[in-house]
Structure 1
Amino acid sequence: MRAMTYDRFGGNEVLSQTEQPLPKVGPGEVLVRVRCAAVNPVDWKIMAGGLRDLMDTVFPVVPGWDVAGVVERTGIDAPEFSEGDEVIAYARKDYVHGGTFAEYVTVPVRCLARRPSALSWQQAAGLPLAGLTAYQTLTRLGTKEGETVLIHNAAGGVGSLGVQIARALGARVIGTASPANHDRLRELGAEPVAYGDGLAARVRETAPDGVDVVADFVGGVLDTTLEVLGEGGRHASIADDSVTGSGGQWMWVRPSGSDLGRLAALADEGRLTVRVAEEFPLARLADAFAASQAGHVHGKIVVTP
């Protein structure tokens, strides 16, 4: 099969298109024919060696953890899915090796969910990692109907999904973003506030009694978070582990087919959508990574083999 691979840590120059053997389908796994895979910053950070102290790496590596595709074959003890099923997954495994930027990828059944029919293949591929990050952050914080949620970086890939998920949970949402993105946040159901100096005061103007939940999807905002939390408020960050010293949670997204199924249901109910910014062919994965690294893309970057 065709796959994008790297055989050493480094920048985008270490990527190349190669021929790899079709992956073996182990017990509790399915083989997925990739229709579309999505880029996340963790993909190129891993390639640069950013997680070498956390996860084992087996070279050559096929990068990528987000996928939308069709079940090609099922392994032993995988009765939940059948050949031809359309699926999505956050396909992170226990070590770094066989990822989604290829024609085929094996995925543990525990990571899989049915593809929501309301989303295109490109949109569906962009949902798993970012969507699960937002969903697990908000649900582990116990977000419930009638509460006020502040989302830092609400116009980003995770934040924009977080706004929609919090709204689906029945919460009022205040979202930080640059003024250029305020109309987009209003469309998603959030009340926008501009980030930068004076942010805490602006949030307090919008929520004088403070907020119940803060989801930090950018980092470097702990002081603001603590200033605006109301009595009994909860907070978490995906980018700043120092929040644990102030009673917050440091989040690391977990693969979960059941959680992903809930997000797919929200999409099919018309309460959750994914914005796609750019699409690249498989051979141009380095260009897709470069677009992600530039940090100015509004929406998901996807790759199609």
Structure 2
Amino acid sequence: MEAEFGQAVRRWRDRVPPEAAGLPTGRSRRAAGLRREELALLAGISVDYLTRLEQGRAAHPSAQVVTALARALRLSGAERDHLHRLAGLAPPGPQTMPTEVTPSVQRLLDRLAGTPVAVYDAAWTLLVANPPYAALMGDPSGWRAEERNGVWRHFLGPGSRVRLGPEERRGFEAALVGDLRSAAAHYPADPRLGRLLADLRAHSPRFAELWDAGTVGRHAAARKTVDHPHVGPVTLDCDVLTVAGSDLRIMVYTAEPGSPDAERLALLTVLGTQSLRG
């Protein structure tokens, strides 16, 4: 089964043109499809692990890895389900949180290639981030498992580059807990969400306090200051769009045209994109 899984990944990798994934093309390319390192970057896994998967030397990839590969390879629903079965996993069902970036959402990402954009599931687990977002908030390609969840990173992990005052922090935490409560109500049988909630309640007294208090809220539009290590503070408008029918969250950062923040955003995007591709 591992060999069949690897063969399927290689076959589908060969059919994805790099420009469809927002990657640069050049005359030196020998393959029409994605290079192995490009697919690894898009899926958020290491090149070594992808190599072992393709060669049938890595057994039992997690549902998160298979979902990330299906998304990066732009598989149809039937192809995604087939890849799950080849990995020995049950395909995503109606009681689990949607994690598929639909073609329409992917087209939106492609059109916003110069704007920091990320897509999260209903529980704030990062599904895909474009290069400008990675340049702004830090490259997420090395994040694994719970590290990709924004709620876990805030309460138990390293946090983010967003600057939060005491009042902003309270509002932000209430919104995160409220969003997670809403996700739990919509997807009560989702095992990943259940494990995330158990971990947060067991190890974060602050999260447990807010959860037990019935805190409600919703993370939506806000004006945020990002402390970037190379260009300094950048104040941006952050808008969160929800995809009807899938509960995916699209987070978009923009700056007022012609402002110093717009100049800093353009600079860090160029620097970060060069670093990611270098």
User: Going by fraction, where is helix more abundant, 1 or 2?
Assistant: 2
More strand by share: 1
Fold conserved between structures, TM > 0.5: no
Taking structure 1 as the reference length, what is the TM-score of the superposition?
Answer: 0.28
TM-score between both structures, scaled by the size of structure 2: 0.30
Relative contact order higher in (CA < 8 Å, ≥ 6 apart): 1
